[in-house]
Structure 1
Amino acid sequence: MDEPNALWMPSPNFFPGRSGQVPRWLIVHGTAGFESAQAVGVFFQTMEVATHYTIGRDGVIVQSVRESDAAWGNGGVTEGHDPWWSRDLNPNLLTISIEHVKPSRDNSDDLTEIQRAISFQLIKRICTRHAIPQRRADADGGITGHFSMDPVNRHFCPGPYPWEDLFRYLNQSRHT
């Protein structure tokens, strides 16, 4: 496992070795259903989808795919995507993905306080491990939501997320 505090629930749904690519973006997701990170972990073991991590509403972190591999979490790139995504290169090869358990099917739930704190900390550690820019995504990498590559089918993913607070946290933690 890459994250020492995570519960390891391995999924078979990944691309081994990232086909020589390295992660440059971190993608934030919302589960659009489910009650726990463990339930999502079981889902990722049985369905043809997975992200690297899931953070439960209780702060539990489940890791389903190693960071050195590409999880099957982002799907395809659709019309209206941010300009740095290409339909010629699978975005999963370039990303690390984190799900946040949101029981509502439309991802309308806010994060719980513990989920928010764990999310910020996990994002910081992943970005540090992989030299992913700790800022809003652009062509050189960074952090964004699933909506960035699939505004047609995933415009609601991750739903409400405290973006400004995340970037403030990342900026402050770099200077302390």
Structure 2
Amino acid sequence: MDEAGTLWMPSPNFFVGRLGHSVRWLIVHGTAGFTSAQEVGDFFQRADVSTHYTIGRDGTIVQSVREHDAAWGNGYVSEGHDAWWDPTLNPNYVTISIEHVKPSHDNSDALTPIQTETSFRLIRSICERHTIPKQRADAGGGITGHYSMDPVGRHFCPGPYPWEELFAFLANHTSK
């Protein structure tokens, strides 16, 4: 596993490698259903979808795809996407994705306190491993939600997320 303390539940749904591309963005998702990270990990073993990580409401982290491979979590780039996304490139090749368990199908659930803390620490760790800018996403990289690349089909993903608190945490903490 790439992150210490995670539960490995491998998914067969990934692209081996990244076709020479480097990770530049971290994508935050909400599950729009499910009750635990393990339940999502099990789903990723059966369905034609995956993300690298899932964070449960209890703070459990499941890893389903290794970071050096491209998960099948981001679909495609739709009309109205943020300007830096290249609609001719599969966004999975340049991203790492983290799901957050949200039982409501519209992703309206707020993160739990332990889920928030776990998310912030995992994001910091991934950004440091891949030199992803610890900032709001732009053409140079960074962190954003799934809505950024697919505002048509995923406008509700990840739903409520404590963005301001995340960026304050990242500005004030290093893992070293």
Q: Which band: TM-score by shorter chain?
A: over 0.9
Inter-partner Cα distance in structure 2 for 1:112 and 1:94: 29
| Residue correspondence of structure 1 range 147-166 to structure 2 within 5 A | 147-166=147-166
User: 1:87 deviation in Å?
Assistant: 1.3
Name the structure 1 match of 2:171. 171
- Match of 2:90, as an amino acid? N
Name the structure 1 match of 2:113. 113
Q: Report whether the alignment pairs 1:54 with 2:49.
A: no
- Match of 2:121, as an amino acid? Q
| Residue correspondence of structure 1 range 78-157 to structure 2 within 5 A | 78-157=78-157
User: 1:86 deviation in Å?
Assistant: 1.1
User: 1:67 deviation in Å?
Assistant: 0.2
| TM-superposition CA deviations, 1:17-37 (whole Å, max 9, x none) | 111111100000000000000
Inter-partner Cα distance in structure 2 for 1:169 and 1:3: 19
Name the structure 2 match of 1:16. 16
Name the structure 2 match of 1:69. 69
User: 1:106 deviation in Å?
Assistant: 0.1
RMSD: 1.1
| TM-superposition CA deviations, 1:18-71 (whole Å, max 9, x none) | 111111000000000000000000000000000000000000000000000000
User: 1:108 deviation in Å?
Assistant: 0.1
Task: Report % sequence identity.
Answer: 72
- Match of 1:58, as an amino acid? D
- Match of 1:15, as an amino acid? F
Secondary structure (helix, strand or coil) at the match of 2:81 reads: coil
Inter-partner Cα distance in structure 2 for 1:86 and 1:11: 26
- Match of 1:144, as an amino acid? T
User: 1:97 deviation in Å?
Assistant: 0.2
Inter-partner Cα distance in structure 1 for 2:75 and 2:148: 12
With the length of structure 2 as denominator, give the TM-score of the two structures.
0.98
Secondary structure (helix, strand or coil) at the match of 1:99 reads: strand
Secondary structure (helix, strand or coil) at the match of 1:38 reads: helix
Secondary structure (helix, strand or coil) at the match of 1:78 reads: coil
